[in-house]
Amino acid sequence: MNIKFLDGRVKQFTPGQSALDIANSLAVSLAKKAVFAKVNGVDFDLTRPIFEDATLELMTKDSPEALEVLNHSCSHLLASAVRKLYPQAQFGVGPAIEEGFYYDINPGEGIKLQEEDFVKIENEMRQIAKQDLAFKRMELTKAEALKLFSHDKYKQEIINELDDHVLITVYQHGDFVDLCRGPHVVSTKVLKNVKLLALSGAYWRGDSQNEQLQRIYGTCFFTEEDLAKHLLVLKERSERDHRKLGRELDLFMLSEYGPGFPFWLPKGMILRKNLEDFWYKIHTRENYQFIQTPIMLNKELWEISGHWFNYRENMYTSEIDKHQFAIKPMNCPGGMLVYKNSIHSYRDFPLRVGELGLVHRHEASGALNGLFRVRNFTQDDAHIFMTEQQIVSEVGNLIKLFEEIYAVFGLSYHIELSTRPKEKYIGSIEIWDRSEQALALACESVGKPFKINPGDGAFYGPKLDFKLRDSMHRIWQCGTIQLDMNLPERFDLTYIDENGERKRPVMLHRAIFGSLERFIGIITEHYGGAFPTWLAPVQVKLIPVNLERHQAYVQAVKQRLLSEDIRLEIDKREEKLSYKIRDAQTKKIPYQLVLGDQEQADNLVTYRQYGHSATKTVSLDDFVSLIKEEVRTLGK
C-alpha cells in the first residue's frame, strides 16, 4: 500500500502495518514521540492496522491534540481504578476537556466519594499504569455490546440509542472495558503523571430530571515537570478566584435571597461604570446609535421570535392585565421592533445599533458560578443591518474593533468559524455557502487566520467566535459575530433599495464582552484584582504621615485630584505608615501617595506604584499629569 506523508513523500508498506510500525521504520525517535495518528484525516490508534493507500500524519507529544488523547486515556484509567476499589460502580461518560478530563460515576449504592478518597484512587491509578497495559480496540455488534455492559445501565442507555447495524467500538486495558470511539495512547505506562483535582455533582446526560452522578476531575501530562508547572498555575488561579477577590476588594456580593443575581457594591459599580463608559466612547467613535429596550415584553413577541417555543424553560414569565409577559432572555426581539419603527433606505446602511441590555435566563442552581454563570447579566449587544455586498467590509471592520478592545486588556484570541449544522437549519444551502464564504473572506481581508468549527453554527446562520486567552492560559468564549437569516424574515424587516424596491436586509448580531458580569469576572482573575489605573475603582490612596499635622495639605491634594476626576481614598487610621502602605498594596490600589512635612512644605507628593517597592517624589502638578496621561492612554 502507498502511504503519503505531509511533506508529499510517498512510500510503500505492507498492508496491515500500523502507524507505529511505519514510524519505527522511519525513525525510532519518531515512534517514541508519537501518540496517535491521522489516517486520511481520521484519528487512528498507533497500533491499529492500515490496509489501504492513505495519507498519514503522526501526532507527537508536542501536539495539543496529543495531550487531549492522553487525558481521555487517563479518564479510562480513572474508571478502571474506581472499578477495582468500588466493584459495584457504574460509569456515565468520561471525556477529555480543556487541560484535563473528568468521569461521571455512580460508585455504588450507599457510597459517596469524598476528595479525601483521591489519594487512594490516585495510588490505584499509578499501580495500573505501572503494569504497562495495552489499550486494545475492539468492534462489537449491538447485541454483543449490550451483553458486555449488562451490569452498567448508563452504558446500556447509550448503546440502545445506536443503530442496530452499526459496529460499536470499545477499548480494553487489563480486565477493564469501556465504550469509546478512541483513539488512545498505546499503553497505560504513559499515564503516570496524573492528579485528581475536584469532585462535583453532575446530572446524568446534563438533565436535571435524571439522577445525579459524581464527577471526578483530573489532569494528566507526559512529564512530571509539566504536571508540576500546571499545578502551580492552578494554585495561582485559586488565589485569583474572582469570587475571593470580589469579597476582598468589595466589588460584588451574592446572597441566598437571590441565587444567581449578583449585587454590585460601590467599588464594583465604579469598575462596571468605567467599563461601560469605555464601551460607549469607542462605539460612538464607530458611528453606533444606542437604544434601550424594555425588560419585559408580551408573549406574542416571543412567539414571533421563536423564543416562546424553543427557549421558554429558560425564561421568567408573569401575567399583566390577563396577558402573559416574559422577561427578555435576549435583546434581539426588542431591537427588531426599534428597526421596524422607521422606514430605512440603503443609504442608512450599515446601520449599527448598540444596547447594553439587561437579560434574565433561568440557569440550573448547580451551574451558578460567581459572575461566570448568573441568572441576570448585561449583554453588550449590537445589531447591524446592511446589504449582502457590505458583509465582508463590515465584518472586517468588526474584527479590527474586537482586536483593538481585547488589546486594551492584554487578551490574545483566536477566531473560529462555525458552519452550517447538518440538521435543523433554516435557509438554502446556497445562502449558507455564500454567508460562510463572506465571513471567511472578512477574516482574510484583515489578515486574521481562523479555524473551521464544522456544523456548530446557529440554526439561523454561521458565526465567528472569538476565543480569548488570559494571563492564566485559560480560554474564554466572549466575542461573537453571528449572521442571522431568521429574525429579518420572522419580523418582516425591509429597506428601500436604490431602485425604490423593498428588500430584506442582512443582519449581524455581535457582542464583544459577551456579558459585562462574566467579562468583569474574567478580567478580575486576569489582572489578579490589580486593575489598570483607568479601570481601578480607587486610583490613589492618600496616606498622611501625621493625620493632625498634615490634614490641611491632605485636603488640598484631595480637592486637586477630585477636580481632575481622579478617584481617591484617604487613610485616616492611627496606624504605622508602613502598615498603611502594605494595606494599600493588599487592596491593589495603583498609587499610594505619602504626604509628610517635606511634601507639605514644597507642594510635593511621594508616590509608590502597586507592585513596586521604590518611591518617587515629584510635584503635585507632575503627578496629576502622569496619572491623567496614563488614564488617557489606557496604560499603553
**pLDDT tens figures, 383-442:** 999 999 999 999 999 999 999 999 999 999 999 999 998 887 878 888 889 899 999 999
What's the pTM value of the predicted model, to 2 decimals? 0.82
298 located within any domain: no
Q: For residue 366, is pLDDT > 80?
A: no
- Same domain flag for 570 and 628: yes
pLDDT score of 364: 82
- Cis amide prior to 183 (ω within 30 degrees): yes
CATH of the domain at 32: 3.10.20.30
Question: Residue 561 pLDDT > 90, yes or no?
Answer: yes
Q: Looking at residues 95-115, what average pLDDT do you find?
A: 93
Residues 476 and 553 in one domain: no
Q: Is residue 275 part of a domain?
A: no
pLDDT per residue over 494-504, tens digit each?
Answer: 999 999 999 99
pLDDT in tens, 152-199: 999 999 999 998 888 999 999 999 999 999 999 999 999 999 999 999
Check whether residue 603 and residue 624 sit in a common domain: yes
* Percent of the chain residues past pLDDT 90, beyond the cut: 82
For residue 320, being part of any structural domain is answered with no
Residues 490, 562 within the same domain = no
pLDDT at residue number 387? 94
Q: Model confidence at 311, in pLDDT bands (50, 70, 90)?
A: confident
- Among 496, 526, 556, which residue terminates a domain? 526
Report if residue 24 sits inside a domain.
Answer: yes
CATH of the domain at 553: 3.40.50.800
445: pLDDT strictly greater than 90: yes
**pLDDT of the residue at 205:** 87
| pLDDT given at position 306 | 86
Mean pLDDT of all residues in 246-257:
95
- Does residue 273 lie within any of the structural domains? no
- 56 and 70 in a single domain? The answer is no
Whether residue 513 is found in the same domain as residue 609: no
Q: Are residues 457 and 571 both part of a single domain?
A: no
State which residues form the domain around 439.
282-293+328-526
Look at residue 208 in the predicted model and tell me its pLDDT.
75
Whether residues 84 and 169 fall in one domain: yes
Environment class of residue 626 by beta-carbon count within 10 Å: exposed (0-12), middle (13-18) or buried (19+)? middle
pLDDT tens digits, one per residue of 20-49: 999 998 888 989 999 999 999 999 999 999
Active site residues: 332, 361, 379, 381, 383, 463, 509
In a domain, 269, yes or no: no
Answer with the one of 45, 60, 75 that is the final residue of a domain.
60
Same domain for 566 and 549: yes
Whether 50 and 165 share a structural domain: no
Across the range 438-448, mean pLDDT stands at: 94
Query: Are 364 and 425 part of one and the same domain?
Result: yes
Task: Give the CATH number for residue 111.
Answer: 3.30.980.10
Residues 33 and 177 occupy one common structural domain:
no
- The single residue listed with the C-alpha cell 499629569 is 625
377 pLDDT more than 80: yes
What is the pLDDT, as a whole number, of residue 422? 85
Residue 496 within any structural domain of the chain? yes
Q: Quick one: pLDDT at residue 459? A: 81
Q: Is 80 exceeded by the pLDDT of residue 635?
A: no
| Exposure class string for 354-363: b at 16+ Cβ within 10 A, else e | bbbbbbbbbb
Q: Please indicate, yes or no, if residue 381 is contained in any of the structural domains.
A: yes
Q: Which of 239, 255, 272 is the last residue of a domain?
A: 239
pLDDT for 486 beyond 90: no
DSSP 166-232: S-EEEEEETTEEEE------SBGGGG-SEEEEEEEEEEGGG-TTSPEEEEEEEEE-SSHHHHHHHHH
Structural domains counted in the chain: 4
